[in-house]
Amino acid sequence: MGERLKIKTTHIPDENGFDPDNVLKEAMEERERLLEKSPDLRGFQEEIDRRLRNSGSVENRMAVLGIMNEARVEKGLNKLTSLLGLLKKMRDFFSQGK
């Protein structure tokens, strides 16, 4: 399979001062600060990076992120549903004693 070329382009800020290189640099720095504060997210970030590295186009990258977010939300919803069932059982158990 072919190798991806990494070509550095120089972006000149537009008339409004928007500089995509600077925005990317700031976003990466913010991500590192978040991962330092929440090291439990590092594994998830590594999974994101790995999947995006193999996704190709911008459209595919967005689709991958959407699928990953949907799976994460579904997993959280399943945990909440399970907890809700446990809370209902506890409520029923304690209400029987009255």
83 in a structural domain: yes
The residue range of the domain holding 45 is 19-54
Q: Distances in Å between the alpha carbon of 78 and those of 22, 47, 51, 82, 93?
A: 39, 21, 24, 6, 23
Judge if 41 and 70 occupy the same domain.
no
Phi and psi torsions of 18, nearest 5°:
-75, 125
Q: Which 8-state DSSP code applies to residue 3?
A: P
Judge if 98 and 66 occupy the same domain.
yes
The DSSP code sequence of 42-89 is HHHHHHHHHHHHTT-SHHHHHHHHHHHHHHHHHHHHHHHHHHHHHHHH
Q: What is the pLDDT along the chain (98 residues), one digit of tens a residue?
A: 445 545 555 666 677 778 888 888 999 999 999 999 999 999 999 999 999 998 888 899 999 999 999 999 999 999 999 999 999 999 999 998 65
